[in-house]
């Protein structure tokens, strides 16, 4: 089976500083992706750029800030973006397909699986899927963040062998190389720690929305799913091939983790938690290190309104997120039995489907 590579390209790499598409850049990246295909890889492109491509065309003097203006610009820009990609790929003998996604598509396991089947069929037919956020219907509170998170979710979904996040800087440095001449680039990172996060700055472009921190967030998601990540530049012919040969201009993020089952991926990174459960120290140890289920005796408090079968977040007594799971009790039931040993549950609320609050098979650790 051919190896699958997900490549993410941000707005700043595709547009001019003033807005509008840079056709030379589109052609360059199409040639680079075609080279990956010719090397035997299956390629998926996650591309930003719809708002940046459209806001000048629609008549806005600057990149819009209001949601309805962004959506209007995206409605114009998405067709411009795809037309440019389709022309560039057709010149190189490939067909491009458009897939627009929102967080709601990932929150629904059925919609997520349908998207995965569509992608599989496109790749089977030799088509290059081009995936973007559906900016015309997304709301700010649920946006992916310049598609960095979207690229990680897609990489996990399709079980990619590599996620390549392209940006205008050549990786992560010990300090900002634009202001610190002696800053040193990290060649490889095996774990994204708080110290690594502290090195990430804000957004570096007026036409994009993501910065290095959002790229680290994406890398963490992909690594947790067993997908290695590269963050860096590709601005010369052959750079994507060099990245796959471990000689790219950027930082590699290695992972020793195996690919997560689709259900665990959905639980950890795509689902929308309804409420929260606060647990005691014993339950925290059992969940994080013992491989056990969460039992009523370990529950200290319950927040939110949820039903059996909903996804909830689990927190410790210090308000630190431990993970997510599918709860087996309604909120009112769990309020009644929290802190009780399992032998007292039935006498407190009657017959139950299962005693565990969250079964270990329906739990993912995120701490």
Looking at residue 181, what is its pLDDT? Answer: 84
Instruction: Provide mean pLDDT across the span 336-344.
Output: 93
Spatial contact of 121 and 128, defined as CB atoms under 8 Å apart: no
d(CA 235, CA 233): 6
pLDDT tens-place string over residues 149-196: 999 999 999 999 999 999 988 999 988 888 888 889 999 999 898 889
Full-model pTM: 0.84
For the CA atoms of 216, 135, 269, 234, what is the dihedral angle to 10 degrees?
Answer: -30
What is the CATH superfamily name and number for domain 273-365? PUA domain (2.30.130.10)
d(CA 255, CA 225): 9
Model confidence at 28: pLDDT above 80: yes
Model confidence at 145: pLDDT above 70: no
Spatial contact of 273 and 324, defined as CB atoms under 8 Å apart: yes
Domain ranges (residues) in the chain: 4-263, 273-365
pLDDT tens-place string over residues 71-119: 899 899 999 999 999 999 999 999 999 999 988 888 888 898 899 999 9
Sequence-distant (≥ 6) Cβ neighbours of residue 86 within 8 angstroms: 95, 96
Looking at residue 81, what is its pLDDT? Answer: 95
Most confident among 103-107, 120-124, 203-207 (mean pLDDT): 120-124
For the four alpha carbons of 335, 338, 340 and 346, in that order, the dihedral sign comes to positive
Report DSSP state, residue 266: I
Instruction: Provide mean pLDDT across the span 193-216.
Output: 69
When pLDDT is cut at 50, 70 and 90, the band that residue 327 belongs to is: very high
Which CATH code, of 3.40.50.1220, 3.40.1160.10, 3.40.50.2000, 3.40.640.10, is assigned to 4-263? 3.40.1160.10
Mean pLDDT of the chain: 89
Looking at residue 161, what is its pLDDT? Answer: 95
Sequence-distant (≥ 6) Cβ neighbours of residue 44 within 8 angstroms: 4, 5, 6, 7, 119, 123, 128, 129, 131, 154, 158, 160
- Return the HEC string of 178-226: CCCCCCCECCEECCCCHHHHHCCCCECCCCCCCEHHHHHHHHHHHHHCC
């Amino acid at each position: 089976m051919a190896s699958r590579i997900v490549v993410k390209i941000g707005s700043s790499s595709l547009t001019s500083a003033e807005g509008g598409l840079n056709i030379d850049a589109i052609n360059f990246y199409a040639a680079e992706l075609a080279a990956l295909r010719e090397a035997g890889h299956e390629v998926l492109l996650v591309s930003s750029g719809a708002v940046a491509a459209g806001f000048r065309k629609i008549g806005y003097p600057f990149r819009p800030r209001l949601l309805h203006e962004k959506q209007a610009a995206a409605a114009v820009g998405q067709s411009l973006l795809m037309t440019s990609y389709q022309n560039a790929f057709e010149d190189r003998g490939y067909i491009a397909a458009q897939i627009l996604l929102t967080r709601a598509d990932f929150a629904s396991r059925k919609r997520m699986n349908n998207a995965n089947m569509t992608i599989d069929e496109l790749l089977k037919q030799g088509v290059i899927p081009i995936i973007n956020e559906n900016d015309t219907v997304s709301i700010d509170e649920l946006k992916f963040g310049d598609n960095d998170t979207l690229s990680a979710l897609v990489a996990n979904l399709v079980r990619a062998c590599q996620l390549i996040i392209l940006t205008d800087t050549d990786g992560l440095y010990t300090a900002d190389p634009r202001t610190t001449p002696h800053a040193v680039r990290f060649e490889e990172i095996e774990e994204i720690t708080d110290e690594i996060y502290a090195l990430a700055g804000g957004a570096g472009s007026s036409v994009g929305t993501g910065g290095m921190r959002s790229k680290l967030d994406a890398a963490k998601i992909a690594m947790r799913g067993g997908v290695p990540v590269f963050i860096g530049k590709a601005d010369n012919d052959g750079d994507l091939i060099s990245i796959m040969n471990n000689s790219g201009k950027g930082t590699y993020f290695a992972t020793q983790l195996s690919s997560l089952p689709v259900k665990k991926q959905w639980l950890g990174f795509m689902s929308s938690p309804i409420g929260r459960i606060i647990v005691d120290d014993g339950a925290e140890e059992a969940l994080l290190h013992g491989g056990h289920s969460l039992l009523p005796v370990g529950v200290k408090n319950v927040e939110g309104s949820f039903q059996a079968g909903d996804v909830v977040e689990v927190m410790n007594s210090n308000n630190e997120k431990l993970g997510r799971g599918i709860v087996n009790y309604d909120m009112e039931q769990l309020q009644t039995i929290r802190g009780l040993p399992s032998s007292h549950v039935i006498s407190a609320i009657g017959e139950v489907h299962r005693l565990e609050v969250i079964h270990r098979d329906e739990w993912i650790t995120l701490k």
